[in-house]
Amino acid sequence: MVEEMMPEGQSPPEKNNGKNLTVVVIIVIALVGIYLLAKNRPAGDQVADRKISSQTPAGSREADEKIFNLSAKPFEFSLKEIRVKQGDLVRINLTVEQGMHDWAVEGFGARTKLLKAGESDSIVFRADKSGTFEYYCSVANHRQMGMVGKLIVE
Ligand SMILES: [Cu+2]
């Protein structure tokens, strides 16, 4: 009697473990799938993305945020000109490819951290006055070396 009971008592947990493992595997596969889908989402201009996603309530701050992705290397920024509308919230995502750089703009007191190769920083400021303002790298003589660009606020 006892010997017969033992195997029956043991087998259900084993079957359960098998089922649990299957469930876990399915969940993992599903998660990986979701991750890959999200990753493969058309990379590209996030500026356009933001505009399209203005399903966000009108007047919300996100709706008028203009995003610019810049990379820096000796002695230039990947963007020479940034054009926005007066009142826009401007987001600067700076990544340094080579050397040590930052990004600063005259007139708005906006400046990223000083970054080394491989590092990035993101800052936001409101372009609350119109005009043309120079942005530049404030490291050593980089600005004089031509590490500059134009912020045009219309
Ligand atoms: Cu620099």
pLDDT in tens, 19-44: 666 666 555 556 555 554 555 544 43
The residue segments making up the domain with residue 35 are 1-41
Quote the pTM value. 0.60
26 Cα to the center of ligand 1, angstroms: 49
Decide: 126 and 87 in contact? Cβ < 8 Å.
yes
Q: What is the total count of domains within the chain?
A: 2
Same domain, 140 and 67: yes
Give residues whose Cβ lies within 5 Å of ion ligand 1.
Answer: 101, 137, 139, 142, 147
pLDDT band at 49 (very low <50, low <70, confident <90, very high): very low
Same domain, 36 and 65: no
d(CA 93, CA 79): 11
Same domain, 115 and 138: yes
Instruction: Identify whether residues 31 and 56 lie together within a single domain.
Output: no
| Structural contact between residues 112 and 121, judged by C-beta atoms closer than 8 angstroms | yes
CA geometry: angle 135, 112, 66, nearest 5 deg: 70
Residues 52 and 37 in one domain: no
Q: Beta-carbon neighbour count of residue 93 at 10 Å?
A: 16
Pairing mode of beta strands 110-111, 76-77: unpaired
